[in-house]
C-alpha cells in the first residue's frame, strides 16, 4: 500500500504542476485536506485512505479566501483518467470512462457543487464517501476539483479575447481496501489515422485495465508499411503515466508527411518500472480517409507537386507520331491514286 501511496504522490505532484501554474494568492483561495484517522501516510497532503466494503465516511477540506471580496468556487468529485498527453488528469467532470472501471470515484464521492467563501474567511467543506458493498483489490483514484467562478480580477474575462484562464486546484483521493498486490498491465487496442492541429498523426490506443497506477512509462513506437522491415516513422516518449483502469490515444507524429492508402502496422515497446510489453497491431488507411486528412493539413505548401513535364513530353511524342503517321498515310494514298 505504501508503494501505491508513493507512486500516487509522484503522479499527483506532476499533474498539479501542469494544471496549476498559479500560486494560492493569484487564485484568491487555497484548499487543504483535513486528514482523518484512517489516513495511511500522514506526511501526504492528499487523502490516502484505508477503507472497508460498504463504509460511509465524511472527509473534510478547508477552503481559505485570501482576498477582500466574496469568492464563488465550483467543486466536483472527478474520476482519474489518462489524457492524450499521457498525464493523469482530474479536471473532467463527465469523461468517457474505461470499460474496465467497475466503480469510479465520482460514484463514491458526494460534494457541494458550489461553495461561497466570504472575504478573508476559512470554510470547512464536507465530502461524503460511500464505498461499494463488494470488496475490491487495488485502488480507486480520483480528485476533488475546485475552480473559481467569475473572477473579476481575471483579465481574460474582462476582454473579448477567448482565453480559458480559470485557476483550479485539485486534492487527490486514493482509496484502498485490501493488501492484495495488483500490477498494472498494458494493452494495445485499435490503431488509426487521424489529425491533430492540422498535422497528420497515427493514434494508438493504449489501455491499463488493472486497478493499479502505471508510472515512469517509456514508449518506443515504430510505424511500418505492410510487411516492410524499415520503419517509416519512429518516436520515443518518456515519463508517461496512466491512471488505474484507463486508456488514452498515444499520438505518433508523422513529421508533416501525407497519408498514403494501404496496409500498415505499429510496433510498440513499453517499459515501466522494470516491466516490458511488446505490442503490435496492423491497420489500414483507406483512400478516402487519406485524401480527407491530406486536404486539411496545415502544411499544404509541402504537399508533393505533380511533375507535368513527363506528360507534356509524352503527349508531344504521341502528337508528332500521330501527325507523322497521318502525313505518311496521306502521301501513300496519293501515290496509289496516281498509279490508278
pLDDT digits (tens, 9 = 90+) for 278-289: 999 999 999 999
Burial 177-203 (b: 16+ CB within 10 A, else e): beeeebebebebeebebbbeeebbbbb
Lowest mean pLDDT among 8-17, 129-138, 215-224, 253-262: 8-17
Residue 88 has pLDDT above 50, yes or no: yes
CATH of domain 2-176: 2.60.40.10
The pLDDT confidence band at residue 300, using thresholds 50, 70 and 90, is confident
The CATH code of the domain at 187-302 is: 2.60.40.10
Alpha helical stretches, state H, 20-59: 24-27
Cα distances from 9 to residues 43, 278, 296, in angstroms, run 11, 28, 41
> Which is more confidently placed, 201 or 12?
201
Residue 337 has pLDDT above 70, yes or no: no
Write down the mean pLDDT value for the chain.
85
What integer is the mean pLDDT of 261-268?
A: 97
Q: What is the mean pLDDT of residues 139-154?
A: 85
Q: Show me where the domains of the chain are located.
A: 2-176, 187-302
Residues 6+ apart with CB under 8 A from 90: 15, 78, 79, 80, 81, 142, 143, 145, 170, 172
Q: Which of 230-234, 258-262, 313-317 has the lowest mean pLDDT?
A: 313-317
pLDDT at 161: 42
What's the pLDDT tens digit per position in 94-136? 999 999 999 999 999 999 999 999 999 999 999 999 999 999 9
Q: So what's the pLDDT on residue 27?
A: 65
Report pLDDT for 195.
95
Predicted model pTM: 0.80
Q: Which helix (H) or strand (E) holds 319?
A: helix 309-339
- Confidence (pLDDT) at 14: 41
Residue 229 clears pLDDT 90, i.e. is over it: yes
Q: The C-alpha cell of 316 is what?
A: 508531344
pLDDT beyond 70 at 17: no
pLDDT band for position 168 (50/70/90)? confident
pLDDT value, residue 16: 44
Residue 238 has pLDDT above 80, yes or no: yes
Say yes or no to pLDDT of 10 above 80: no
- Phi, psi of 2, rounded to the nearest 5 degrees: -65, -30
Distance between CA 102 and CA 177 in Å, rounded? Answer: 15
Amino acid at each position: 500500500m505504501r508503494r501505491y501511496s508513493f507512486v500516487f504522490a509522484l503522479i499527483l505532484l506532476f499533474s498539479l504542476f501542469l494544471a496549476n501554474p498559479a500560486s494560492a494568492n493569484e487564485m484568491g483561495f487555497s484548499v487543504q485536506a483535513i486528514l482523518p484517522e484512517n489516513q495511511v501516510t500522514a506526511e501526504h497532503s492528499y487523502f490516502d485512505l484505508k477503507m472497508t466494503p460498504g463504509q460511509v465516511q465524511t472527509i473534510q477540506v478547508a477552503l481559505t479566501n485570501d482576498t477582500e471580496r466574496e469568492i464563488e468556487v465550483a467543486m466536483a468529485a472527478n474520476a482519474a483518467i489518462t489524457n492524450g498527453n499521457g498525464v493523469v488528469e482530474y479536471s473532467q467532470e463527465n469523461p468517457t470512462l474505461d470499460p474496465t472501471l467497475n466503480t469510479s470515484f465520482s460514484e463514491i464521492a458526494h460534494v457541494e457543487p458550489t461553495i461561497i467563501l466570504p472575504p478573508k474567511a476559512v470554510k470547512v467543506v464536507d465530502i461524503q464517501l460511500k464505498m461499494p458493498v463488494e470488496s475490491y483489490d487495488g485502488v480507486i483514484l480520483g480528485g476533488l476539483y475546485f475552480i473559481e467562478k467569475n473572477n473579476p480580477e481575471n483579465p481574460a474575462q474582462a476582454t473579448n479575447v477567448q482565453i480559458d484562464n480559470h485557476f483550479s486546484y485539485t486534492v487527490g483521493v486514493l482509496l484502498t481496501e485490501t493488501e492484495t498486490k495488483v500490477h498494472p498491465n498494458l494493452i494495445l487496442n485499435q490503431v488509426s489515422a487521424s489529425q491533430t492541429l492540422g498535422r497528420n498523426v497515427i493514434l494508438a490506443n493504449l489501455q491499463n485495465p488493472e486497478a493499479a497506477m502505471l508510472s515512469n512509462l517509456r514508449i518506443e513506437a515504430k510505424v511500418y508499411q505492410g510487411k516492410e522491415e524499415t520503419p517509416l516513422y519512429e518516436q520515443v516518449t518518456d515519463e508517461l503515466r496512466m491512471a488505474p483502469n484507463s486508456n488514452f490515444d498515444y499520438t505518433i507524429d508523422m513529421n508533416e508527411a501525407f497519408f498514403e492508402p494501404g496496409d500498415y502496422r505499429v510496433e510498440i515497446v513499453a517499459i515501466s518500472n522494470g516491466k516490458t510489453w511488446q505490442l503490435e497491431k496492423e491497420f489500414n488507411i483507406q483512400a478516402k480517409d487519406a485524401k480527407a486528412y491530406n486536404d486539411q493539413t496545415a502544411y499544404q505548401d509541402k504537399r508533393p507537386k505533380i511533375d507535368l513535364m513527363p506528360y507534356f513530353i509524352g503527349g508531344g511524342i504521341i502528337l508528332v507520331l500521330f501527325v507523322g503517321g497521318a502525313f505518311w498515310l496521306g502521301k501513300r494514298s496519293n501515290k496509289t491514286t496516281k498509279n490508278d
